[in-house]
Amino acid sequence: MTIPWLINLYPWTKALHLTAVVAWMAGMFYLPRLFVYHSTVPIGSETSETFKVMERRLLRAIINPAMTATWLLGITLVLTPGIIDWSQGWWHVKLLSVLLMSGFHGHLSAARKRFDRDERPKSERYWRIANEVPTILLFVIVVMVIVRPF
């Protein structure tokens, strides 16, 4: 299903979508880095409490709204006539990557709640490795959208 009148809004939808993606990715790069630092400070310390505030605000004020906007605007782009050639395969990989990014977002959200309860089931090393996940997924997404290799 496509909605014909969306074609007139396409440049604005695309610009807003890209802005939302940039904001989402900025937060997705930063939150795991905060977890790296948070995992090294003593539980109950003033620094730990500061990290809790930073993590909560980052997730609620930037990452969650940006992800929501990214999805809504992305769906709007998909519904715009002539934007996607459904016979090509690149969009499958892009969609899978966005779903994985959203799942990782959920993982970070759950981790933030655990940090808030002073639980630390994951190591600093885990968070250092996890910090690379958004970069890898973003690379795949950008290649699929720009290069469209298949």
| Residues of each annotated binding site for heme | 17, 94
**What is d(CA 107, CA 81) in angstroms, rounded to the nearest whole number?**
34
- The answer to whether the CB of 38 falls within 8 A of the CB of 51 is yes
Tokens at 47, concatenated: 């620094």
**Long-range contacts for 66-69 (Cβ within 8 Å, ≥24 apart)?**
66/20, 66/21, 66/23, 66/24, 66/27, 67/20, 67/24, 67/102, 67/105, 69/16, 69/17, 69/20, 69/23, 69/24
The annotated binding site is made up of: 17, 94
Instruction: Look up residue 140 and give its two tokens.
Output: 């795949």
